[in-house]
Amino acid sequence: MRGISGFEYRISDKIAELFMQYADEVKTDALGNVIAVKECGKPNAPKIMIEAHMDEIGLIVTSVTDDGFLTFAPVGGVDERTLPSTEVTVHGRHDLKGVIGIKPASMLESGKTVKIKDMAIDIGFGGEKARSLVSVGDSITLAQSVGKLGKKQFSGKSLDDRASVAALITVMKKLQNADLHADVYAVAAVQEEVGCRGAKTAVYGINPDLAIAVDVTHGITPDNSDNAFKVGEGLTISVGPNIHPKMAQRLFDTAEKYGIKAETEIDGGNTGTDAWVMQVSRAGVPTALLSIPLKYMHTSVETLALSDAKAVAKLIERFILDLREDISWLTL
């Protein structure tokens, strides 16, 4: 599945199709957000929005040279250090395989870091043929990799944040025949990677009484253990000014009640997720943030434990099933 920010239409139909199996209604709004609705049928029921973003980081074609090479610009937080020698898919007249090439190390200045402006994509065609297949403005995605890694982990591109979208689909499946006391709006949002745009419009349109954003957080790797979490040891629940304290506490209590592993993640300001814009929409929405620990974020080899994604789905499911019409407990 391939859909960088602004080009999510390549995947939104598939996500809508998956949601449609378990929701009363599925719609796509003007910006491209996919919104699945399950109503409880009870009067004066609260509305809860659960959200994850469907877009991925990627690249966009800026020119096709006379020799057939493609220059490009980043879309979202692309780490240029990871790009040399990367395989990509160029979404031109049809999908084309390409590689990002650079000068051999022996020809570079010692210690020099290659910048995006000095890179180009080779699709194996000369200029005239390349221009017939690729246009300026075509999107480019990183090639898929690996898949299952060991017995418990999974590695590939765009797990940020489609692993969370998969968790929301699982939640809707679990709630399909449940006796609910709230209307549930599951949102696969667009354009998070370029400024949390889809979540902003979706929460404004839905106007929920409370909301849960789901994203990824940094997993511990050999070179990073600060403000990171062990993959395979459960999800994280954020606390801080971006998070409604009673929402966070209710989620901690629910996790403890049902034996779901959860750690505390401290965010002293902007969480850098859709929770940031969801919190301050309209007159304000009590918002929580759940995250899946992820190694190697914003690369083609993002890696997580499937058990952590399942833990997120279970916690949201139990939180919603325990939710009643009276949400006065949210009052600060």
Segment 16-29, tens digit of pLDDT: 999 999 999 999 99
Q: In the chain, helix, strand, coil percent, each to 5?
A: 30, 30, 40
- pLDDT for 231-253, tens place per residue? 999 999 999 999 999 999 999 99
Location of structure tokens 């689909």? 169
Residue 103 pLDDT class (50, 70, 90 cuts): low
Can you give the pLDDT at residue 111?
Answer: 58
Omega within 30 of 0 (cis) for the link into 161: yes
pLDDT at 153 over 60: yes
Report, as an integer, the average pLDDT of 251-272: 96
Active site residues: 192
Q: CA dist 162 to 9, 56, 177, Å?
A: 14, 8, 25
Residues 6+ apart with CB under 8 A from 222: none
pLDDT at 318: 98
Q: Domain 9-56+157-330: give its CATH architecture.
A: 3-Layer(aba) Sandwich (3.40)
Average pLDDT over residues 159-177: 97
**Do the beta carbons of residue 71 and residue 54 sit within 8 Å?**
no
With residue 249 as reference, give the H or E element that holds it.
helix 245-257
Report the amino acid identity of residue 135.
S
Q: Which of 5, 6, 38 is nearest to 21 (CA)?
A: 38
Backbone angles phi, psi at 290, to 5 degrees: -110, 140
Predicted local distance difference test score (pLDDT) of residue 323: 96
d(CA 77, CA 273): 13
Give the pLDDT confidence score for residue 223 in this predicted structure. 86
Element (H, E) at 253: helix 245-257
**Residue limits of CATH 2.40.30.40 in the chain:** 58-142
User: What's residue 261's pLDDT?
Assistant: 97
CATH assignment of 58-142, given 1.10.3720.10, 3.90.1170.50, 2.60.120.380, 2.40.30.40?
A: 2.40.30.40
What is the residue-averaged pLDDT of the chain? 94
Phi, psi of 159 (to 5 degrees): -65, -25
Looking at residue 118, its pLDDT comes to: 87
Mean pLDDT over 10-17 rounds to: 96
Average pLDDT rounded to a whole number, residues 200-206: 97
Query: Where in the chain is CATH 3.40.630.10?
Result: 9-56+157-330
**What pLDDT does 107 receive?**
52
Q: Are 190 and 197 in contact (CB under 8 A)?
A: yes
Strand 47-53 relative to strand 210-218, pairing = parallel
Predicted confidence at residue 115, as pLDDT, reads 86
Q: pLDDT at position 328, please? A: 94
The pair phi, psi for residue 304, each rounded to 5°, is: -145, 170
Q: How confident is the model at residue 2 (pLDDT cuts 50, 70, 90)?
A: confident
Query: What Rg, from alpha-carbon coordinates, does the chain have?
Result: 21
pLDDT at 172 over 80: yes
pLDDT in tens, 307-331: 999 999 999 999 999 999 999 999 9
Lowest mean pLDDT among 82-86, 130-134, 248-252: 82-86
Unique residue bearing structure tokens 């299952």: 148
pLDDT confidence bin for 106, thresholds 50/70/90:
low
Task: Report residue 224's pLDDT band, with 50, 70 and 90 as the boundaries.
Answer: confident
**Amino acid 159: pLDDT:** 95
Residues 6+ apart with CB under 8 A from 35: 26, 27, 28, 29, 185, 186, 187, 202, 206
pLDDT of residue 117: 87
Tell whether the model's pLDDT for residue 105 goes beyond 90: no
pLDDT tens digits for range 185-202 = 999 999 999 999 999 999
Q: How many CB atoms lie within 10 A of CB 246?
A: 16
pLDDT the model gives residue 68: 95
| Percentage of the residues of the chain whose pLDDT score is greater than 70 | 97
* DSSP structure string for 114-128: PPGGG-EEE-S--HH
pLDDT of residue 266: 95
